[in-house]
Structures are given as structure tokens and as C-alpha cells.
A and B are shown apart, each in its own frame.
Chain A
Amino acid sequence: MTKSETGDLKTADGISLKLSLQRSLRRKKRNALLLVAPLFLFILITFILPIFYMLMKSVDNSITQEILPTAAPLLLKWDPKSGELPDEEVFKAFIIDGKVAAKEKTINRLGKRLNYEKSGTSSLFRKTGRKLRKLDPEKLTTTYQEALIGMDKKWGKLETWQLLHRESGPYTKSYFLSAVDMKQDVDGVTWKAEDSQIYLNLFKRTLWLSFLITFLTVLLGYPIAYLLATLKTSTSNLLIILVLLPFWTSLLVRTSSWIALLQKEGVINDFLFAIGLISNDGRLAMIHNQTGTVVAMTHILLPFMILPLFSVMKTINPSYVRAARSMGADSFTAFRRVYFPNTIAGIGAGGILVFILSIGYYITPALVGGTQGTLISNFIAYHISGSLNWGLAAALGTLLLLLVVALYILYDKIVGIDNMKLG
């Protein structure tokens, strides 16, 4: 390093030291970015894009314009509140589009799509499709309107066209409305009839059960974490295996063991029967209901509470409590006023983690939850592989995702993602 005439430091090759340092820092930053880039791209393609694709699916309604390419844009211009049926032009476009779709057999897909909004639409479209196939639009003796109404009287009803009008745009909010038990008609958005409300109750049940499970894991996890944190390291290292073993054991193993324990002919009922506490007819129903879900999930998620609590408790200096005791606090007061407030961060960390995990749980409730113990995830799965209403599945998934993201931000505020540790 030499000192130049102007006075700033230079490296051996004559470049200003400041510049050289800046350069090396930039190079370091670039290298760091290059190291992260492959994983970033990988996650983007295999994970983030699919999630976005699902978000899009929850509002996507391109099917109407795909199947009715001329009728749908025309129908959008019609005023559904006019009290009159759409123009002859719309009926003509519908018959021509419908004839093509009937030939390609895509018209039933549209019927099925609209059936989610109003039942009976699917059969209306099937019936109309069959008749459209036989019809030659060139040789009509009546108006297009009369021809279509002749196929099914429902085409003469305002509400059929109002529905079609509502779902003619490229996007729809109907999936989201269904996901919160609402429906839209010509007068605007209203609640569905009380007896067909499903999802709000399901969200409520999911939140309530997740809260209950979180509370139970705090209740059971706190004493264990406290014991582990205050024991000698050699003893606690041994005991922590009892926490880590369930953590490492397959989820399905733990779920099947709860089935073995809880079912009517299972270990617990057999034991209670053998010692005479219950009669053979009085066997307890502990599975395929909410009890099953709560017990099994509390067991499965308990390590996620104990481990963060334990790591927080380990950092609490024991002299704090000793100081409180020496100043006259009894052991309960010392715990309540000194030790416990120090562990709140750990309860928050573990609590949010357990809560996030439990609101998205699928496998365990599906196997031990019956009908009353299933959660929102089970309905998402049902709409993907059972009812095939993918839009509704995506809308429910989006709502669940929003909930989780909000909790995640909270977690980041309390703990910081950088501090997340495993095992």
C-alpha cells in the first residue's frame, strides 16, 4: 500500500483503496446473490407460481366466454334490472354458440359450472344441448327467442338470464361469496339461507379447535419445558428424547396409534371395561368426533410448543428468581412476577406456531375427526377430488392462506423468522 501525492490510500496496483474496497464488497454481494439465486428460482417455479395459479383459479371465470364467445359479450351489455328478456340478438348468438358447444360437448361443462350458483342449471344445459344438436338455425320458422324457450321454459325466465349475465365476465366473485356462505342475485349480495350455511361455521370450528389445541399444548407443554430447563443438562438431554421421539415419528404412525387407543374396541375402552368403570354398552365414543381430533392433534403438535418454550426458558438466568426469593417473595409470587413474564415470548412463539400448523391440518382430522371434527382443509380436499368444484376449493384455500400469512407476520414480529430453529 502506498500513499499518493493527493493523500488517499492506494493498493499495490495503484487503485484507490476506497474504490478497491467498494469493488470487493460489490463482488461479495453479487456472489451472495448468485448463491441464493438457484434456490430462489426453484422455489418460484415449483412453489410460488402454483400458489399464484391457485389464487387466480379462485376468481377465474374464462369458461363462459370460451364456450359462448359471441353471446357472453352481448349479454354483458344487457341490463339485468330492466325486467325484460335480452334482445333477439342475444338469443341468436346463444343458439349459434350453443350449437357449436353442443357438438363439441363442451356445453355441459358450462352447465356444471353454473350449477354451482343455482342447482338445476346443469340439467337445463344438458337438455338444451341435446335439442340444439338436432336444430338447424338456418331453417328456423320462429324467432330465436321462441325457439329457445320452446326447448325449455326456463329460458323465458328472467333469473336464468340474470345468472348467465352475472357469470359472463372473465372474472367472478361467486366462489369467494360461496366460501363465506353468501350469494349474489340481481339485488346484490345476501346471506345464504341459514340451513345451507356451511363454511362460516367451518371456519369458526377450525379457529375454535385450533385455539383449543393451542391452549392445551401450552397447558401441557409449559411444565415439561420448565422441568427440562431447570434440570441438570445431562438429565434434560436424556428426557428431551421423550419429546423429540414423537416429533420425529411419522404423523401417520401417531395417528394410527391414536386410533388403536381411542376407538370403541380400542385399548382405552377395553381397559376401562376390564376394570369395571364402564359397561360394554357404555363404551366411550372418543374417535370420529371432535374429541378424536383434539386429542390426537394436541399430541402431535405438543413438541412444537415444548421446543421453543424450552429454548426461551434455558436463557432465563436462575438468579432472577433467587433474587426475588431473597427479597421475600414466596416461590409462587417469584414464579408469577419474575419467571412467568420472561417466558411470555416463548409462549407466543410456540403458540402461533401450533396455531398456524393446526388451522391447516388435513390428515389427522380426516382420519379421526368423523364429520364433526373435520376442519376447513378437509373441505378444500373434498372440493378438489370429490365435488370437483376447483374454484371454490381455490377460494377457500385463498382465505385460509390469508389467515396464515397474517399469523406469520405476527410470528415474525414476535420471534423473527431469522431466529427459527429446529430440534
Chain B
Amino acid sequence: MALPLHATTGERIWHYTFLTICVLIFAFLIIPILVIIPLSFNAQPYFTFTPEMVAFDPAGYSTKWYEAFFSDSNWRAAVKNSLIIALFSTIISTFLGTLAALGLSQKDFPFKTAMMGILISPMIVPLIISAAGMFFFYAKINLLGTHIGVILAHAALATPFVVITVTATLTGFDHSLTRAAANLGSSPTNTFFRITVPLITPGVISGALFAFITSFDEVVVVLFVGSVNQRTIPWAMFSGIREEISPTILAVATLLITFSIILLFMVELLRRRNERLRGITPH
């Protein structure tokens, strides 16, 4: 990307114009997320910067929206519901998804493309259609408004992410390693746990993180399949924005941003570790 010494004036102008455009696009990507953080410390119940805030007057800032969040039993219940639902659907989808990925990565798996198409269909079908179908069907089998119903629905939505990440890990998998183990007298079970598992673990964990965030961030399906007892954080935010806009939502948003930064770094670390393990070093 560096500008060569022999660049003409026109090329120079274009180069800096291009960089400026890129900076602006990056700003478009990131500012909407960052702007919420100072706004959540607003002392006034507004969604904008007050004159006191612009003047960096400490009186313009307050942590009262965070206090409101932590002291509100509705929000606490929402946090609890979100964690329970995300945890259980992650366990189900990671388990089933990893098994399926191990099977799918075998050579000459029959009807692989069709099977893959079915297994990842929950990711492709628009959420509103999944939600509508689940709403009609789960009502019929009495799962509407239950934790189990929402957990099953979220597990179905999250498995494609696990299948895709674990399959991606397995495509770079060197099968001569397991053959070598077998050749050295290791039983298939032993080979699986001592060779395969350590190599695919990073993929499985990042798949699990994807599954977790899918459930944790999901709102359409839970709106239709769940009832008030399954109210999750995104649901509470959705109805909060629709009914009474209070900066408590911005405080929740800031906490969620912190949470997603942590998740992002975990996934990135795992990805790089995975590449290192498989001998693919970034160059």
C-alpha cells in the first residue's frame, strides 16, 4: 500500500484521497458504536450530548442509568434468562454440531452438499420465517412460552455456526496424524481423545462462542416463541426502544459492547492459535 517513490502527482493525490475515503468509512463503521458509551453517562434523560457534556462539566455526567439497570428487577430477570437460554442452547448446539462436523468431514460422505444445505438452513432462512414457523408449530406441541421451547429454537439457529467453524477447522486437519497414531498402536478412542480433540478444540470453542452470541443476541424468535417469563436482554431492549426510550438502554448497550469486545478477542486469539497449530503462520 505504500506509495512508491516514482509515483506521479496524480497518483499521490489519488492515494491520499483513497486513504481519506477509507478513514471516513471506518468512522462510519465504528463511531455509531463508540458514541453510545459517553451518552450512557448522560446526567439528563436524553439520547444526545447536553451542553454540560460538551463542556466536560462533571455535572453533565452520571452513572445513574447503570444504577437503574442494576437495581431493576426486570433487567436482572432479563440477564438471568439470557444467560440460561444462551448457555443451554450453546451446549446443545456445540455438542450436536461438533459430532455432525466430524461426520461431514469424512471423505466421500454421501449427499454431502444436500446434507450441508439442510443442516445450515436455519442460518439462511430469514429469522421472521423461522419465528413464524416455530410459533405455529411450537404452539401445537405446547412449547410456546417455555424455556425449553426457546432453548430448542435457539439451539437450532446456532448449530449452523458450530458446523461451519468446526468443519473449517477440520478441512485443514492432517489425517496422517491419526493414521500415524493408529500405526503406533493407539486405539480409535484413544486417537480421538489424544490427537483429534486437542487439534479441533480451538474450532469447537469458537463455534461455541458463535453459538452463544447467536442466542444471546437473538430477538425475533424469542419474541414469538417466548412469553414474558422468557424475556431476554435483547427483548427488553426492543420493547424499551419501542415504548419508553430511557438512557438505561444506552447503559445496557455499553455493557453489551464491553461483552462483545471480550468475545471478539477470545475468538481472534483462538483463530490465531488454530492457525499456528495447523502450521499456517500469517505472513
- Report A's interface with B, CB cutoff 8 A: 28-29, 31-36, 38-40, 42-44, 46-54, 57, 220, 223-224, 227, 230-233, 237, 239, 241-246, 248-261, 263, 265-267, 270, 299, 302-303, 331, 356-357, 359-363, 366-367, 377, 380-381, 384-385, 390, 393-394, 397, 400-401, 404, 408, 412, 417-418, 420-423
Q: Which residues of B contact A39 (CB under 8 A)?
A: 96-97, 99-100, 119, 159, 163
CB-based contact A231/B118 at 8 Å: no
A32 touching B35 in the complex, CB below 8 Å, given contacts A43-B156, A243-B29, A380-B132: no
Of B22, B260, B263, the residue contacting A227 (CB under 8 A) is B22
Interface: B85 (CB within 8 A): no
Of B18, B220, B224, the residue contacting A363 (CB under 8 A) is B220
For this complex, 5 residue pairs linking A to B, each with C-beta atoms less than 8 Å apart, are: A29-B108, A34-B103, A232-B1, A261-B35, A363-B238
Of B99, B220, B245, the residue contacting A35 (CB under 8 A) is B99
Q: How large is the interface on B (under 10, 10 to 19, 20 to 34, 35 or more residues)?
A: 35 or more
Q: Which residues of B contact A46 (CB under 8 A)?
A: 134, 152-153, 155-156
Interface string of B120-142 (1 = CB under 8 A from A): 11101111111111111110100
CB-based contact A51/B35 at 8 Å: no
CB-based contact A51/B116 at 8 Å: no
- Please report which residues of chain B, range 1-56, place their CB below 8 angstroms from some CB of chain A when the two chains form the complex: 1, 11, 14, 18-19, 21-22, 25-26, 28-30, 32-33, 35-36, 39, 46-49
CB-based contact A223/B21 at 8 Å: yes
CB-based contact B103/A31 at 8 Å: yes
Q: Which residues of A contact B131 (CB under 8 A)?
A: 381
Q: Which residues of B contact A245 (CB under 8 A)?
A: 30, 33, 260-261, 264
Q: Which residues of A contact B118 (CB under 8 A)?
A: 40, 43-44, 48
Q: Which of B59-67, B69-77, B194-202, B250-258 contacts A (4 or more CB under 8 A)?
A: B250-258
Q: Which residues of A contact B267 (CB under 8 A)?
A: 248, 423
User: With A and B bound together, what is the CA distance between A29 and B104 in angstroms?
Assistant: 10
User: With A and B bound together, what is the CA distance between A49 and B242 in angstroms?
Assistant: 32
User: With A and B bound together, what is the CA distance between A50 and B235 in angstroms?
Assistant: 22
A90 to chain B, nearest CB (A): 33
A252 touching B237 in the complex, CB below 8 Å, given contacts A29-B108, A367-B242: yes
B17 to chain A, nearest CB (A): 10
User: With A and B bound together, what is the CA distance between A48 and B216 in angstroms?
Assistant: 22
- Report B's interface with A, CB cutoff 8 A: 1, 11, 14, 18-19, 21-22, 25-26, 28-30, 32-33, 35-36, 39, 46-49, 92, 96-97, 99-100, 102-104, 106, 108-110, 112-113, 115-122, 124-138, 140, 152-153, 155-156, 159, 161, 163-165, 167-168, 206, 210, 213, 216-217, 219-220, 224, 234, 237-238, 241-242, 245, 249-250, 253, 256-257, 260-261, 263-264, 267-268, 271, 282-283
CB-based contact A246/B127 at 8 Å: no
CB-based contact A265/B46 at 8 Å: yes
Q: Which residue of B lies closest to A358 (CB)?
A: B126
Q: Which residues of A contact B164 (CB under 8 A)?
A: 420-422
B28 to chain A, nearest CB (A): 7
Extra 20 A-B pairs, beta carbons < 8 Å, given A265-B47, A302-B29: A43-B156, A50-B138, A231-B1, A233-B282, A246-B30, A249-B256, A254-B33, A256-B237, A259-B241, A267-B35, A302-B28, A331-B14, A356-B124, A356-B126, A359-B126, A360-B125, A362-B126, A380-B129, A381-B128, A400-B129
B201 to chain A, nearest CB (A): 17
CB-based contact A260/B153 at 8 Å: no
B90 to chain A, nearest CB (A): 14
User: With A and B bound together, what is the CA distance between A367 and B164 in angstroms?
Assistant: 31
B32 to chain A, nearest CB (A): 4
A249 to chain B, nearest CB (A): 5
CB-based contact B136/A263 at 8 Å: no
Interface centre among B11, B137, B161, B263 (most CB of A within 10 A): B137
CB-based contact A40/B1 at 8 Å: no
CB-based contact B48/A220 at 8 Å: no
CB-based contact A42/B29 at 8 Å: no
User: With A and B bound together, what is the CA distance between A394 and B130 in angstroms?
Assistant: 11
Of A33, A255, A258, the residue contacting B103 (CB under 8 A) is A33
B8 to chain A, nearest CB (A): 9
Q: Which residues of B contact A233 (CB under 8 A)?
A: 282-283
Closest 3 CB pairs of A and B: A360-B126, A35-B103, A50-B133
User: With A and B bound together, what is the CA distance between A257 and B106 in angstroms?
Assistant: 45
A224 touching B26 in the complex, CB below 8 Å, given contacts A36-B103, A367-B241: yes
User: With A and B bound together, what is the CA distance between A253 and B104 in angstroms?
Assistant: 36
Q: Which residues of B contact A423 (CB under 8 A)?
A: 206, 210, 267, 271
A391 to chain B, nearest CB (A): 10
Q: Which residue of A lies closest to B14 (CB)?
A: A331
A367 touching B35 in the complex, CB below 8 Å, given contacts A46-B153, A223-B21, A401-B129: no
CB-based contact B126/A400 at 8 Å: yes
User: With A and B bound together, what is the CA distance between A331 and B42 in angstroms?
Assistant: 50
CB-based contact A246/B36 at 8 Å: no
Q: Which residues of A contact B124 (CB under 8 A)?
A: 356, 404, 408
User: With A and B bound together, what is the CA distance between A232 and B112 in angstroms?
Assistant: 37
B153 to chain A, nearest CB (A): 7
A47 touching B48 in the complex, CB below 8 Å, given contacts A242-B26, A254-B32: no
CB-based contact A32/B28 at 8 Å: no
Of A253, A384, A420, the residue contacting B257 (CB under 8 A) is A253
